[in-house]
Amino acid sequence: MDRVCSFPDCIKSAVATLGGCKYCVAHFVSTCYKCLEKTSDRANEAAQKERRNLLVEIVDTVTSLSQGSDEFTNQERGQLMDILLWACDSLAERT
Ligand SMILES: [Zn+2]
């Protein structure tokens, strides 16, 4: 894969895309955590919908990443699994 992470100054290969940007594993993980930690504005319906779409994208991306990939360390796998559970939890809260 010749695509490179779109994080500034990062030269690692991208393994996933999120919100139209390409990320290496480490930056994908940190970007996901940042999204998950952001508290949603319950008064703002558009923002809630946007957050929901992003959570769905995170779940889809993490699910496809964890399938058939041997290139991750145990720590990375743990982080991806944590993100997946957290995103699913956040989605469930909103319904
Ligand atoms: Zn990166």
pLDDT confidence of residue 1: 45
Centroid of ligand 1 to alpha carbon of 42 (angstroms): 32
Number of domains in the chain: 1
Which pTM does this prediction carry? 0.85
Centroid of ligand 1 to alpha carbon of 6 (angstroms): 7
Domain containing residue 47: 16-93
- The tens digit of pLDDT for each residue in 37-73 reads 886 667 788 888 888 999 999 999 999 988 766 778 9
Task: Classify residue 71: in a domain, yes or no.
Answer: yes
Task: Classify residue 86: in a domain, yes or no.
Answer: yes
Centroid of ligand 1 to alpha carbon of 92 (angstroms): 30
CB 87 within 8 A of CB 32: yes
Please, what is the angle between helix 74-93 and helix 25-37, to 10°? 30
Spatial CB neighbours of 83, under 8 Å, sequence gap ≥ 6: 29, 32, 33, 36, 58, 62
Task: Classify residue 10: in a domain, yes or no.
Answer: no
pLDDT confidence of residue 40: 64
Centroid of ligand 1 to alpha carbon of 91 (angstroms): 26
Task: Classify residue 1: in a domain, yes or no.
Answer: no
Over residues 14-32, the mean pLDDT reads 94
User: How high is the mean pLDDT of the chain?
Assistant: 88
Centroid of ligand 1 to alpha carbon of 9 (angstroms): 8
